[in-house]
Amino acid sequence: MAHQSARQPARESASPQAGIVEPGPAPALVTRALRKSFGEKPVLDGIDLSVAAGTVFALLGPNGAGKTTTVHILSTLIAADAGRAQVAGHDVAAEPDAVRAAIGVTGQFSAVDNLLTGRENLILMADLHRLGKVEGRRRAEQLLRRFELADAADQRVMAYSGGMRRRLDLAMTLVGEPRVIFLDEPTTGLDPRSRRELWALIRRLVAGGVTVFLTTQYLEEADRLADHVAVLDRGRIVAQGSPAELKRLVPGGHIRLRFADARSLDLAAGFLEFSARDDESFTAQVPSDGAVSALRKVLDRLDAAGVEAEELSVHLPDLDDVFLALTGRGHEASAPDEQNRTAQPERKTTS
């Protein structure tokens, strides 16, 4: 366990200002020391976040880290035990209705009316936003087209596929033209194609100027969508930074080689730089960024030395690696370890 030496993201902040409140455009979302427990179990243990307006922010973490609880507090569904949160300039506890008027939420479980058609769902939202009949219909039609649901507009949502349902869910969130949008694990459970479609839709949203607060368990998703990522682990932010900064934390990808016997392994060790080796299974790891040229170099060297590898696989950094790097354990690790947690220095960004 190398958690004590886990590196924190290097802040190469482009903005020179420091301090809690920075000049310039007000952040769309700020939290200070947000805490929440369910019974005896602390779920959020002092969360400080700041999300600049018009950006995509990703809260990355495994199941049970507190992502959904954070979204529930910020979207006024539940109250925090301590700390403060402001969304679109309004305090979530003091002015919940002002916050609600500014936000749109697409939760982890679809919040659509299965008994109504897609169009009726959107018009229901328009009525609840009191848009008026004409404007409501206009916006519903526009969203149906934009989310490629026009053909299924008059079908009951019950008959929709998972991807269509999620698109409708997002479309319903947009009816009120929210300034801040919460997406709680928007692509969990979707097939790869629907996931890519949704990513494209989210990117187009941000082009329209809204702020997106996204939670995800996929590093790739955060990487593709977010300007800024915070890693949440057991209710604490363990790292923040741009996706590039976060990925630099990860020891990174490697090529994994398995040899037939100890002799081949020893031979290979002579000309390859192993980052790890296991004499029991005759396997070794060579650091790699996944580039084809690096892979070819390894193969060429093996060829030149006449050493045969039984098996070769390429591993790219994933959430597990990020977690391992930040917390000294994989994100599937189950046994809570209070010592590790409190020893973990918290990284705060101020810009």
Partner 1 sequence: MSSLTYAVADSATMLRRTLRHVLRYPAMLAASLGVPVILLLLFVGILGRTLGAGLNDGHAAGATHTGGYIDYVAPGIILMAVSSGCMATSVAVCVDLTEGIINRFRTMAISRAALLTGHVLASVIQTSVATALVIGVAVAMGWRPTGGPLAWLAAIGLLELLSFALTWLAVAIGLVSKTPESSSNTPMLIQFLPFLGSAFVPAASMPAGVRWFAEYQPFTPVNETLRGLLTGTAIGDNAWIALAWCLGILALGYWWARTVFRRGRLR
Report helix, strand and coil shares of the chain as percent, to nearest 5: 35, 25, 40
Phi and psi at residue 254, to the nearest 5°: -150, 165
Q: Which residues in the 109-168 window bind partner 1 by CB under 8 A?
A: 109-116, 120, 124, 127-130, 156
| Residue (77 or 316) nearer to partner 1, CB | 77
Q: Please tell me whether residue 93 binds partner 1 under the rule CB under 8 A.
A: no
| Per-residue binding letters, 67-86, with partner 1 (x by CB under 8 A) | -----x--xxxx--------
Parallel, antiparallel, or unpaired: how do β-strands 211-216 and 236-241 relate?
A: unpaired
| Residue (100 or 195) nearer to partner 1, CB | 100
Chain length of the chain = 351
Q: Please tell me whether residue 49 binds partner 1 under the rule CB under 8 A.
A: no
- Residue 238 CA, chain-centre distance (Å), reads 14
Name the one residue in this structure whose structure tokens are 């698109």.
167
| Residue (96 or 252) nearer to partner 1, CB | 96
231: how many CB neighbours lie within 10 A of its CB? 29
Phi and psi at residue 256, to the nearest 5°: -105, 125
| Residue (57 or 259) nearer to partner 1, CB | 57
How far apart (Å, rounded) are the C-alpha atoms in residues 98 and 77?
14
CB 231 within 8 A of CB 322: yes
Q: Please tell me whether residue 103 binds partner 1 under the rule CB under 8 A.
A: yes
| Residue (72 or 247) nearer to partner 1, CB | 72
Q: How far is the CB of 78 from partner 1 (least distance, A)?
A: 6
Interface with partner 1 (CB under 8 A): 72, 75-78, 97-98, 100-101, 103-105, 107, 109-116, 120, 124, 127-130, 156, 172-173, 176
